[in-house]
Amino acid sequence: MASGFSRDAAMALLEEWTKGESLRKHGLAVSVCTESYGRREAEKLGLAGAEADAFAEQYASAGLLHDMDYERHPSLEEHPFVGVKHLRELGWPEPVLNAILAHADYSGVARESHLERALFACDELAGFLTACALVKPTKSIMDVEVAGVKKKMKDKAFARAVKREDMTLGAELLGIPLEEHVGNCLKAMQERAGELGLVGISS
């Protein structure tokens, strides 16, 4: 992407619009997971070097920006429409804007592109994986395992705000088994645990 529409620019916007640490961290976690799918897709498309980086950066930026207006405008009438309107005025690329709109069921925007599907697939799962890490005695994402995540998904009382059906549908949209999807996102978050504040506490 052009330098004005980089991951750093997306992070600056997220920090400008969102003051709450947990929502910022959510944006970052979703970004990390979504970007990992962007990197996989770039490889499939035969992209390399700067071209692959620019491709994946759109995924990372969409993840950072998908809830940027949620703190100020949490209603269904306004989120994510207010944020997208602002981003459009700034000139952000349409693929990023469409992905942000498509992550909301009620927006009327179908999930057709790989980016749109990846962002939707990573949104609820990133939040769920964070919750799985924070209930560990160590509070570390390193101690989270795929089998444990799947078990927690069946526990309706755990992280009840997270829509299990969205995680399942997300994997279907990406054309991979749920277990693989969980593993992909978990690996992406573990690799960047420090950035996400999920390294945990030493015993």
| pLDDT of amino acid 4 | 74
3-state secondary structure of 66: coil
pTM of the full structure: 0.95
Q: Which amino acid is residue 133, in one-letter code?
A: A
Q: How far apart are CA 152 and CA 134, in angstroms?
A: 13
N-to-C CA span, the chain = 42
Per-residue pLDDT of the chain (203 residues; tens, 9 = 90+): 555 789 999 999 999 999 999 999 999 999 999 999 999 999 999 999 999 999 999 999 999 999 999 999 999 999 999 999 999 999 999 999 999 999 998 999 999 999 999 999 999 999 999 999 999 999 999 999 999 999 999 999 999 989 999 999 999 999 999 999 999 999 999 999 999 999 988 64
| pLDDT of amino acid 203 | 47
Of how many residues is the chain composed? 203
| pLDDT of amino acid 187 | 98
Rounded (10°) angle between helices 178-191 and 146-154 = 120
Spell out the alpha helix ranges (H) of the chain.
7-17, 21-44, 49-65, 81-90, 94-102, 114-134, 146-154, 164-174, 178-191, 193-196
Exposure string over 70-101, b if 16+ CB within 10 A, otherwise e: beeeeeeeebbbbbbeebeeeebbebbbbbbb
| pLDDT of amino acid 2 | 52
3-state secondary structure of 104: coil
Domains of the chain are: 3-194 (1.10.3210)
**Other CB atoms closer than 10 Å to residue 11's CB: what's the count?**
18
Task: Compute CA distances 94 → 66, 75, 164, whole Å.
Answer: 13, 23, 29
| pLDDT of amino acid 105 | 87
